[in-house]
Amino acid sequence: MKTIDGNRTVYDLIQEYPELKPILVKIGFKPLTNDKMLNTVGRMMPLNNGAKQIKLSLDDLKEALQKEGFDLQV
C-alpha cells in the first residue's frame, strides 16, 4: 500500500503517482479531467481541501483510496 499525505497538493501527488488521477476523477474530482485545472488549482490545492470543496468527507476519501491501494494520512 502506498502512503500519501493529504496535506500535499493534488498536483504533486499526481506527479508522484500518475495512477492516482483516474481514481480521484472517479470519486468526484471531476475538474481534474481538465489539465489546465490540474496545472493551476491543483498546484495550490491540498488533497484534503479539495475533498472539502467537492463535499467529500475525509473518511470517505480515505476509504475510497484504500480500496485502490493508497493509505491516506490526514
Residue numbers of the domain that contains 42: 2-73
- Euclidean distance between CA atoms 34 and 65, whole angstroms: 21
| Full-model pTM | 0.91
Residue 74: is its pLDDT beyond 90? no
Q: What is the average pLDDT across 41-52? A: 95
For 24-41, the pLDDT digits (tens) are: 999 999 999 999 999 999
| Contact partners, residue 62, CB within 8 Å, separation at least 6 | 72, 74
Structurally, the chain folds into a number of domains equal to 1
- Euclidean distance between CA atoms 44 and 50, whole angstroms: 10
- CATH number, domain of 62, equals 1.10.3910.10
